[in-house]
Amino acid sequence: MEIYRHACPRNCFSTCGMLSYIEDGKLVKVSGDAKHGYNQGRLCAKGYAYTQYVYNPYRLKHPIRQTPRGSGNWKRITWEEAYDCIADKILELNERYGSNLASGYNKFSGNIGLLHYAVEGMFNSIGPHTKPVGNPCLITGEQAMRKSFGQMNRMMPEKMAEMNAIVIWGANPAVTNVHQMKFILQARQKGAKLIVIDPIFTRTAATADIFIQINPGTDRWLALGVAKLLIESNMYDEEFVRNQTVNWEEFHQYVTEQVDLHEVCRETGISLDVLCELLSIYSMPKPCATWIGFGIQRNENGGQNISAINTLAMLGCQSGQENRCVYYSHSGIDDFPVNLLNHEGPVHPIVQHSREIDINNFAENASKLVEPPLKFLWIALRNPLSQDQDFQAWESLMKELELIVTVDLFMTKTAEMSDLVLPAASHFEEMDVNVSYWHHWLSINEKAISPYYEAKSDLQIARELMEKLNERFPGFSNFPSEREPIDWIREELTPSVKKLYSIESIDDLLESPRLRGEEGKNLSSSAFKFRLFSEENTDTSTYSMNREKTDVEESYPFQLLTPQSLLKIHSQYEAMPWLNQGAEQAVVELSEYAAEKRGILEGDKVELFNPNGKIAAIARISRFLPQKVILVNQAGKNPINRLIAHKPQENPGKSSMNFYDSSVNIRKWCETNG
């Protein structure tokens, strides 16, 4: 039996090191890599189910074409035919419009390996085109962190085990980051307190010493209220705020004059006694960790929420900066040249730059493009008809496009609406290198088995398609098709990267994952200047949950929260029998209050609806849910995101998707409900 080293490439905190066991060329087992210091030889349920993922009967085997689009009339074609079709369209659009702006892609994080930037590299290699910018998941928080700290923190998550208190603010690691729970448990075994702040009584909250159930979207109020108590009690580090912050006087005046504790309690739904309990945590002279979850910033005021929490965390812990530990995410990829992403294409004589579209409003904005309109769209590493929002805009855009190509392992809802679907390789069938946005380990991903039927990696597709284009039109693309995956990986391992990870060559990574050096030192720099919460660009002083309700809020009075589930990531893993043994019908959780108001009983079939659409689900009544919150997990055959619409932002690409700003109504299911 042969054993190979891998990194789980899903968009997940853990980016786990794993081992594959190969017998007669087949994957027979996977396990955690004991040499990986974060997951330490363990995997989550999704990781252990990878044998079913690779050899799943629903996995795509060959390139297929659908005529007409959306008909379900699929025909198997060869890769050569697929490449011919795509090349024909790209070249025809180039001739029609005089550039490649009518060709574009929509790609995100279905596989976060560095070589999957081959999609961007491929399009860069043909010159200016149409591309998405931004990040639907965490960029609002990243912007807020950079504004507070000047850069992204690099705190090691393993060091959470050394804390005397851990405040988890809007995160649910027991579901979305299971390996972090062991470090939290280690801290608690040494006497640390665990405090969870969340609108939902999560699995993590169930393990906490203190659970604080906050009204959704009011986190900044709570943080500013406790900060006011710190200042009034003189429990903050005065030397720190005067010497290492840039706006202390402004913040002090704002909190003193504008933050009213009675208003804080009314807005958050939290009593003054609980605020005082948090005060005792943040005034401890010992290390305290604050973990800010991504859900905190998935609303219109997300940046202010995170800025306020950062401020509270930095004001507390009087014993020094090294004890002010704020966790969100980090930009480990910034250490690397990411050559595929940054590949420079040919210069166009007239069009100087590619055309950029905010990924959070991609479909709506793409439909408005003129001179030229977008006509060809390549979709890879995502399933927008499950994980995006405003499906009506996507459906409208798809009617306008002349060719849609989707690359995936399974027939997703997006693939169903495409012209061509190309089968993608799994990470066991390709070579890659991976870093995490949470921990600090660098991992190699070896190719362990031959591709499933005719599946190919994004890099292999890019190499072959660009070679086809150049056969048709010499010099059309400058993509270096001759380079193998190992060549790209070696180029990522620059001298600075090797020094940072204490490696001499790729062979060291084949022996074991490596930990990044110099971690977590940015906050102790003498040049560090922290920016406290600012009233600028925030409506904190005027917003009130008790304001007069609008007509829309009266018609759709419940706030919709849509967190990730334990056994799926959006639509990924839906075809795994080990992970899908329950009923296929979606489940909606509602409060006892909502159930009584609508006459709904446990197990009733119900319908959620708003102007964006409607979905059917089975009701589950929760005594722990806030009165006007409705919860539906991501994933499912009828995606909950159908009910979500994202408001356009002033600065495209600079904010996350506002998944948690949606309101809905609920009623018992009736065949005549529209």
Residues 6+ apart with CB under 8 A from 399: none
Domain of 558 in residue numbering reads as 551-668
Instruction: Say what the pTM is.
Output: 0.94
C-beta separation of 40 from 14 below 8 A: no
- Which helix (H) or strand (E) segment is 15 a member of? none
Tokens of 435: 């870093």
Predicted local confidence at residue 541, as pLDDT? 40
Residue 235 sits in a domain whose CATH number is: 3.40.228.10
Give me the residue label for tokens 């904005």. Answer: 365
Q: What are phi and psi of 613, to 5 degrees?
A: 155, -165
Asked if residue 637 and residue 605 are part of one domain, the reply reads yes
**Per the structure, how many domains does the chain have?**
3
Helix segments in 167-218, DSSP class H: 173-176, 180-189
Asked if residue 417 and residue 317 are part of one domain, the reply reads no
For the chain, percent helix, then strand, then coil, each to nearest 5?
Answer: 35, 20, 45
C-beta separation of 33 from 39 below 8 A: yes
Tokens of 635: 């994933």
β-pairing, 629-631 with 558-561?
parallel
Asked if residue 341 and residue 284 are part of one domain, the reply reads no
Kindly tell me the burial class for residue 534, based on how many C-beta atoms sit within 10 Å of its own C-beta (0-12, 13-18, 19 or more).
middle
Residue 530 DSSP symbol: B
Asked if residue 246 and residue 235 are part of one domain, the reply reads yes
Cα 384–chain centre separation = 13
Asked if residue 130 and residue 193 are part of one domain, the reply reads no
Asked if residue 338 and residue 321 are part of one domain, the reply reads no
Predicted local confidence at residue 545, as pLDDT? 40
Looking at 462, 490, 515, which one is the last position of a domain?
A: 515
Predicted local confidence at residue 547, as pLDDT? 45
Share of the chain above pLDDT 70, in %: 93
Question: Is residue 277 included in any domain, yes or no?
Answer: yes
Asked if residue 277 and residue 361 are part of one domain, the reply reads no
Predicted local confidence at residue 480, as pLDDT? 98
Asked if residue 218 and residue 194 are part of one domain, the reply reads yes
Tokens of 402: 């002349």
At 652 the three-state DSSP class reads coil
The pLDDT tens digits of the residues spanning 613-646 come to 999 999 999 999 999 999 999 877 789 999 998 7
Question: Is residue 8 included in any domain, yes or no?
Answer: no
C-beta separation of 641 from 388 below 8 A: yes
Residues 6+ apart with CB under 8 A from 505: 493, 498
Tokens of 602: 């446990």
Residue 567 sits in a domain whose CATH number is: 2.40.40.20
At 478 the three-state DSSP class reads coil
Question: Is residue 458 included in any domain, yes or no?
Answer: yes
Question: Is residue 118 included in any domain, yes or no?
Answer: yes
Asked if residue 185 and residue 319 are part of one domain, the reply reads yes
Asked if residue 576 and residue 634 are part of one domain, the reply reads yes
In the chain, how many H helices and how many E strands?
Answer: 23, 25
Over its C-alpha atoms, the chain yields an Rg (Å, rounded) of 25
Give me the residue label for tokens 């660098």. Answer: 442
Q: Which residues of the chain have pLDDT under 70?
A: 317-324, 519-527, 536-553, 581-584, 648-651, 671-674
Question: Is residue 32 included in any domain, yes or no?
Answer: no
Looking at 299, 328, 357, which one is the last position of a domain?
A: 328
CA end-to-end span of the chain: 58
Tokens of 543: 């917003």
Asked if residue 635 and residue 568 are part of one domain, the reply reads yes
CA distance 310 to 326: 7
Question: Is residue 537 included in any domain, yes or no?
Answer: no
Question: Is residue 420 included in any domain, yes or no?
Answer: yes
Dihedral through CA 427, CA 430, CA 432, CA 434, nearest 10?
A: 0
Question: Is residue 284 included in any domain, yes or no?
Answer: yes
Residue 73 sits in a domain whose CATH number is: 3.40.50.740
CA distance 561 to 659: 8
Looking at 270, 294, 328, which one is the last position of a domain?
A: 328
CA distance 87 to 456: 18
Cα 246–chain centre separation = 31
Kindly tell me the burial class for residue 670, based on how many C-beta atoms sit within 10 Å of its own C-beta (0-12, 13-18, 19 or more).
exposed
Asked if residue 149 and residue 124 are part of one domain, the reply reads no
Tokens of 321: 């900066």
